[in-house]
Amino acid sequence: MRHLLVPGAAFALLTALGELLVASVDLLPLNPAMAREAVVSDDALRLLFALAVPVGAFTLAALLYGIWAFRRRGDPAEDGPPLRGHRAVTVAWLVVTTALCLVVIVNPGITGLAAMAQSGDADLVVGIAAQRWSFSSSYPQHGVTKAKELVLPVNRRVRLELTAVDVVHGVWIPAFRVKKDAVPGITTAMYVTPTRLGSSDGAVNLRMQCSQLCGLAHSTMTMPVRVVTDAEFQAWVARNKG
């Protein structure tokens, strides 16, 4: 009974402390969510941490108790007595971990992908062209071409159509938690819905960054991103048209 009560108490304590830590600590303090897709991603991250805590706590409690309770005593040159496991513990472990896997597949897996919804209608279409070592944006609905920044109206669903001139580049906007490859010869797309006003000047992660190693100046391949009001967006379009 002692071999169940002691590690069980340690498991309960470690689980409680771990869940309290996950609930109270901002996991991404320097990278706030600035899009609907980012909130979906962050919620999934918190859920995965919360599910991982009891698994890690059980493993740690069993390991530490096993080291202490079943350590070899006497002559270190001799083998200790054999230790036998319990089938019920093995079966319970397999059942619980399998159930956790199924839960994760459904949520945040299937539900998260549905919430991200990388298809459908969009309020705005923006073309992103990537080449070593720069990005440019175009707005075919508004006659803006080869802009050196990405300007998006707040609370509008945007379809980013990605192309590459030379090699594969990764289009990544950390504050939006979206990333997709731009591949030569084809057009790929990703969707984003900005929910907070801001710019690269005030939020370092509100930028477009290449996430695929593409050559000598890969680390400098960035483009500023701004999220503005509808009126500011229309004014920017008027200034950059043509």
Span 121-150, pLDDT tens digits: 899 999 999 999 999 999 999 999 999 999
Percent of all residues in the chain with a pLDDT value above 70, rounded to a whole number: 98
Whether residue 96 sits in one domain with residue 159: no
What is the domain range of residue 204? 124-240
183: tokens are 């591949």
Question: Does some domain include residue 128?
Answer: yes
Q: Same domain for 64 and 100?
A: yes
Q: What SS3 class is residue 149?
A: coil
Alpha carbons 10 and 7: distance in angstroms, whole number: 5
Domain presence at residue 78:
no
Query: Per-residue confidence at 120, pLDDT binned at 50, 70, 90?
Result: confident
Q: Could you tell me if residue 39 is inside a domain?
A: yes
CATH code of the domain in which 233 resides = 2.60.40.420
Element (H, E) at 226: strand 222-228
The more confidently predicted of residues 12 and 73 is 12
Q: Are residue 139 and residue 236 in the same domain, yes or no?
A: yes
The pLDDT value recorded for residue 14 is 94
Q: How far is CA 115 from CA 11, 35, 102, 120, in A?
A: 34, 12, 19, 12
Q: Could you tell me if 18 and 64 lie in one domain?
A: yes
Average pLDDT over residues 152-178: 95
Number of folded domains that form the chain:
2
* 56 plus 160 within the same structural domain: no
Whole-angstrom Cα distance, residue 212 to residue 236? 30
Q: What's CA 67's distance to the chain center, in Å? A: 36
Single-letter code of the amino acid located at 171: V
Per-residue confidence (pLDDT) for residue 153, from 0 to 100:
97
- The answer to the question of residue 222 being in a domain is yes
13-53 pLDDT, tens digit each: 999 999 999 889 888 877 889 999 999 999 999 999 999 99
Do the strands 188-192 and 178-182 form a parallel or antiparallel pair, or are they unpaired? unpaired
Q: Do both 96 and 159 map to the same domain?
A: no
Alpha carbons 242 and 238: distance in angstroms, whole number: 9
The reply to whether 91 falls in a domain is yes
123 vs 176: CA distance, rounded Å: 17
Residues 110 and 188 in one domain: no
